[in-house]
């Protein structure tokens, strides 16, 4: 087991974890905003126990990676992921992305992974593609005011925003009867505060305004799109439903009542479903 850093073409240091047998099939995890590779603990340990090699990295400006002042956009996110894959020479890999990480996976697979012949399958979990922002061409998206509100909250009091978000909509802890795990909230805050405010601020534009329709259309490897229908962060009808319409070789799975952070709250359900797809 190891961890380390890879230096990208623009000099950014990207932190990664690489656990498990080097000759096993790699499962590569891409985290959501504003977190780090630590958000995949439950999945990495699960797949490691099932004999896979597991890899995850911290997006630029997040976690332990460099807090750079440039490149906080989907193109650089995908290129950074490619730098990790090339550095570790990952082949026949399954790339799994959550939320913003799902956008990163879509662009990485379409522009880097498939052309390089490195990708076997992809999974989009509660993912942002094709486009979150409401536009004339995307009338079911969320209005700009929603994202401006997140930006304002981050700029005014990032520490408090990073308490409110996991306490409320991210895990569905604001729903009547929900079982609230304080440790999960604290861990979300810890991961968020490890990252840089500038990268997280600019990342809001990246995850909300990047149109990834063409990325989804370009993906030819088998792809699973999965999401809960009580996702209060990324509305599922404009995400997983549209992903299923755009993916050429895709399948969708919608979970009744599951929240945006279902990888954590319902790992006992999601992990076996991920494993079943990988083993197909």
Residue 69: DSSP 8-state: S
Catalytic annotation, residues: 99, 231, 260
| Predicted model pTM | 0.98
**Which tokens belong to 83?**
């730098």
Residue 117: DSSP 8-state: T
Tens of each residue's pLDDT in the chain, 280 residues: 699 999 999 999 999 999 999 999 999 999 999 999 999 999 999 999 999 999 999 999 999 999 998 999 999 999 999 999 999 999 999 999 999 999 999 999 999 999 999 999 999 999 999 999 999 999 999 999 999 999 999 999 999 999 999 999 999 999 999 999 999 999 999 999 999 999 999 999 999 999 999 999 999 999 999 999 999 999 999 999 999 999 999 999 999 999 999 999 999 999 999 999 999 9
Handedness of CA 212, 217, 219, 224 (dihedral sign): positive
Q: Are strands 2-7 and 223-228 parallel, antiparallel or unpaired?
A: unpaired
């Amino acid at each position: 087991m190891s961890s380390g850093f890879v230096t990208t073409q623009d000099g950014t240091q990207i932190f990664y974890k690489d656990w498990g047998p080097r000759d096993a099939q790699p499962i590569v995890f891409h985290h959501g905003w504003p977190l780090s590779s630590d958000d995949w603990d439950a999945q990495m340990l699960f797949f490691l126990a099932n004999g896979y090699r597991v890899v995850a990295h911290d997006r630029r400006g997040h976690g332990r990676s460099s807090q750079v002042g440039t490149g906080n956009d989907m193109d650089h996110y995908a290129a950074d992921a490619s730098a990790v894959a090339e550095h570790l020479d990952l082949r026949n890999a399954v790339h799994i992305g959550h939320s913003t990480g799902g956008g990163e996976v879509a662009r990485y697979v379409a522009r880097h992974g498939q052309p390089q012949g490195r990708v076997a399958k992809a999974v989009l979990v509660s993912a942002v593609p094709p486009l979150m922002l409401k536009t004339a061409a995307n009338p079911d998206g969320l209005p700009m005011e929603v994202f401006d509100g997140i930006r304002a909250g981050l700029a005014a009091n990032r520490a408090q925003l990073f308490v409110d978000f996991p306490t409320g909509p991210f895990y569905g802890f604001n729903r009547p009867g929900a079982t609230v795990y304080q440790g999960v909230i604290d861990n979300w805050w810890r991961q968020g505060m490890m990252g840089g405010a500038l990268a997280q601020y600019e990342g809001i534009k990246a995850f909300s305004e990047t149109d990834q329709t063409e990325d989804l259309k370009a993906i030819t490897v088998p792809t699973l799109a999965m999401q809960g229908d009580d996702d209060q962060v990324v509305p599922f009808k404009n995400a997983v439903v549209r992903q299923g319409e755009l993916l050429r070789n895709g399948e969708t799975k919608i979970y009744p009542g599951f929240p945006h952070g279902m990888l954590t709250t319902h790992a006992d359900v999601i992990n076996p479903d991920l494993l079943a797809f990988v083993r197909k």
